[in-house]
Amino acid sequence: MTWSLEPKVWWAKLAFFVGIPILLSLPVGVFRAGLGQFLPLEISVAFWATTWLLTWLSSELILQVLHRLLRPWNTPIWAEIVLAVLLATALSALYFPVLMHMASQFAFDLPKFAADRPGYRGSFDHMLSVFVSGTPGIVAWIALRSVFAMLPHSILPQSWLSTKQEAGAPTQQPSHPKVGMPSPTMSRFARELYDAGIIDTSKVVAIQANDHYVNVILTDAKEHLILSRFTDAVDAMAPGEGIRIHRSFWVRRDAIQDVEQDGTHLLARLQTGHTFPVSAKYRGLVEHVVRQR
């Protein structure tokens, strides 16, 4: 998941991470749920808004970490969303008492809470009460984060539902295919491309094998190291879009600027300035592509 603040998506991130949790916390604060019944109205609203914000942001932070840790298993995003909010809710047991203590300074006729009993904090009853009281937030997070995950990349990244094709519609191979919205069954390479913000394969200039990873080079010469098999990465490109020039290199046809001899070795020089070795097996093909330009 790449959360760069691009101009066309910053407003969506601000709405999701700040606007929505504050909006959802308003009824809880206004009607003075829980501790709020002993607090002035403005303190009750601030208390619950802070609580929802912290839980919302910690859920997303944990989701990002889980996404990276579980990446080799290509875990469905919905499972990561659920696990993230459960862990964040458990984590709230650490900071929620601090917020309660701060808010209680403004309270009137404050009763003695169960959480004040010795040995209660961290107990099974304590954690159970945390999850029960946090159920509305858990449900809201899972539902809304899943909805945002299904939106196009121009709104928020990490989409996980694939675009369904109408029955009977003919399949066409575009010259520069879009990566599309990732689904739990799609290839790891396609999902990683999407997470890196690469939704159009025409931006991919070259692919280099690098142990269990591939180095993807884009038209702007930027590089992305992606966990994927080299063959899966090459298969994701449109047929005829590029060629193999070596057992470890794939390059786009129109990106080859020239070939040059370096002793006994032939090198392909790309428009990005990169030079890659050309093996004897692919030498004739590379020279043919250059002549045809």
pLDDT digits (tens), the chain, 293 positions: 333 333 345 667 777 788 888 999 999 889 888 878 888 899 889 989 999 999 999 998 998 888 778 766 667 778 888 999 999 999 988 888 788 878 878 876 666 554 455 555 556 676 787 788 888 889 998 998 887 766 544 344 433 333 333 333 343 444 444 444 444 445 667 777 777 777 677 889 999 998 888 899 998 888 888 888 888 888 888 778 899 999 999 999 999 999 998 888 899 999 999 999 999 999 999 988 888 87
In a domain, 176, yes or no: no
In a domain, 161, yes or no: no
CB atoms within 10 A of CB 95: 14
In this structure, the answer to whether residues 56 and 138 fall within a common structural domain is yes
Total residue length of the chain: 293
Closest to 45 (Cα-Cα) out of 69, 58, 28, 21: 28
In this structure, the answer to whether residues 137 and 203 fall within a common structural domain is no
Phi, psi of 139 (to 5 degrees): -65, -45
Structural domain harbouring 66: 10-149
What's the Rg (C-alpha) of the chain? 26
In a domain, 79, yes or no: yes
In this structure, the answer to whether residues 227 and 128 fall within a common structural domain is no
Contact 102, 48 (CB under 8 A): no
In a domain, 173, yes or no: no
CA–CA separation, 237 vs 259, rounded Å?
23
Domain total of the chain: 2
In this structure, the answer to whether residues 130 and 220 fall within a common structural domain is no
In a domain, 181, yes or no: no
In this structure, the answer to whether residues 208 and 141 fall within a common structural domain is no
Domain final residue, candidates 123, 149, 175: 149
* Predicted structure pTM score: 0.53
Closest to 186 (Cα-Cα) out of 204, 169, 163, 152: 163
Residues 6+ apart with CB under 8 A from 7: none
Q: DSSP for 139-196, please give it.
A: HHHHHHHHHHHTS-TTT-S---PPPPPPTTPPP---SS-B--S--TTS-HHHHHHHHT
CA–CA separation, 210 vs 193, rounded Å?
16
Q: Which letter does DSSP use for residue 36 in this model?
A: G
In this structure, the answer to whether residues 119 and 206 fall within a common structural domain is no
Domain final residue, candidates 131, 149, 167: 149
In this structure, the answer to whether residues 192 and 123 fall within a common structural domain is no
In this structure, the answer to whether residues 143 and 196 fall within a common structural domain is no
In this structure, the answer to whether residues 134 and 193 fall within a common structural domain is no
CATH (domain of 200): 2.40.50.1020
In a domain, 228, yes or no: yes
In this structure, the answer to whether residues 100 and 197 fall within a common structural domain is no
- Residue identified by tokens 């290199």 is 249
Closest to 50 (Cα-Cα) out of 28, 81, 71: 28
Which H or E run contains 252? strand 249-252
pLDDT reported for residue 74: 65
pLDDT reported for residue 152: 46
In a domain, 55, yes or no: yes
Structure tokens at 73: 């298993």
In this structure, the answer to whether residues 120 and 209 fall within a common structural domain is no
Phi, psi of 210 (to 5 degrees): -145, 80
In a domain, 178, yes or no: no
